[in-house]
Amino acid sequence: MIIFQNVSKIYNGNGHKATALEDVNFTINPKEFVSLVGKSGAGKSTIIKLLIGEEKPTKGRVIFASYDVNKLKLKELPYLRRRIGVIFQDFRLLANKTAYENIAFALEVAGRLQSDIEEFVPQILEMVGLKEKMFNFPKELSGGEKQRVAIARAMINHPDVIIADEPTGNLDPINTWEIIKLLLKINELGTTILLATHNKDIINYLGRRVISLEDGKIIRDEEKGRYVLV
């Protein structure tokens, strides 16, 4: 479903080059729950940016389902992104839209019917436990609540994969576990999850596949991985 083939990414700034990824190869199959671990700057975020077409690789191919991601034109990118749900450390909710509208927006951009929106959005808000705060704006929500809105937005379009980039980085331990449990539940329902994190406890608790990165290279790819200090 997701294939990285000999992918390298070199940033070119003011004469000096910075290698973010070097010859990265991996495949993620449907319904897998994969964690990407590594220190900051190891290349986790770059992999995510390449996958959603925010950046283009310097070398190699990125394939998602039937899309050859780096060959997509600007106009075709939205179709790819509607099949991928993304969750970020800083939530990235639309500040001047309510929780309800933030989630509805993801359906609206896909051209879904108003009746669908009115049916699905309250359902998913109930699932993430935020039905009472449906009409609150992001600034009126706590960090954990914001992240749950973001997760609801990411899964509303029934994406093939959900990518979570340090989703618990800004949250306290209790909220962290709730978010992880939510991700596990989504995975059980059949959605592929790609989780980038450097939280050791989470990795050890999950006991799923772990891809470890260091300086832009994959140093370990284990089926039932643990967090190994390097």
Q: How many residues interact with another protein (rule CB under 8 A)?
A: 26
74 counts as binding another protein under rule CB under 8 A: yes
Contact stretch for another protein (CB under 8 A) within 6-14, 80-88, 125-133, 168-176: 80-88
Q: How far is the CB of 102 from another protein (least distance, A)?
A: 9
Check: CB of residue 226 under 8 Å from CB of residue 210.
Answer: yes
Residues 35-54 interacting with another protein (rule: CB under 8 A): 52, 54
CA gap 116, 128 in Å, rounded: 18
166, burial (CB in 10 Å: exposed 0-12, middle 13-18, buried 19+): buried
Give the count of beta carbons closer than 10 Å to the beta carbon of residue 31: 15
Shortest CB 209 distance to another protein, Å = 25
111 touching another protein, by CB under 8 A: yes
Q: Is 60 left (phi over 0), alpha (psi -120 to 50) or beta?
A: left
The answer to whether 208 touches 33, Cβ cutoff 8 Å, is yes
Determine which helix (DSSP H) or strand (DSSP E) holds 161, and give its type and residue range: strand 161-165
Q: Should residue 65 be labelled a site residue for another protein when binding is judged by CB under 8 A?
A: no
Told to check if 106 binds another protein by CB under 8 A, we report: yes
Widest pairwise Cα distance in the chain = 54
What is the C-alpha R_g of the chain?
A: 18
* 87 residue type, one letter: I
Q: Residue 54 or residue 201: which is nearer to another protein going by CB? A: 54
Q: Which of 18, 25, 29, 109 binds another protein (CB under 8 A)?
A: 109
Residue type for position 24: V
Closer Cβ to another protein, 97 or 220, answer by number: 97
- Residues 185-204 binding another protein (CB under 8 A) are none
Site for another protein in 142-161 (CB under 8 A): 153, 157
Q: Contact with another protein (CB under 8 A): which of 79, 119, 228, 230?
A: 79
| In the complex, least distance from residue 106 CB atom to another protein, rounded to whole angstroms | 5
DSSP letter for 198, please: -
**Binding footprint of another protein on the chain (CB under 8 A):** 52, 54, 74-75, 77-82, 86, 92-96, 105-106, 108-111, 113-114, 153, 157
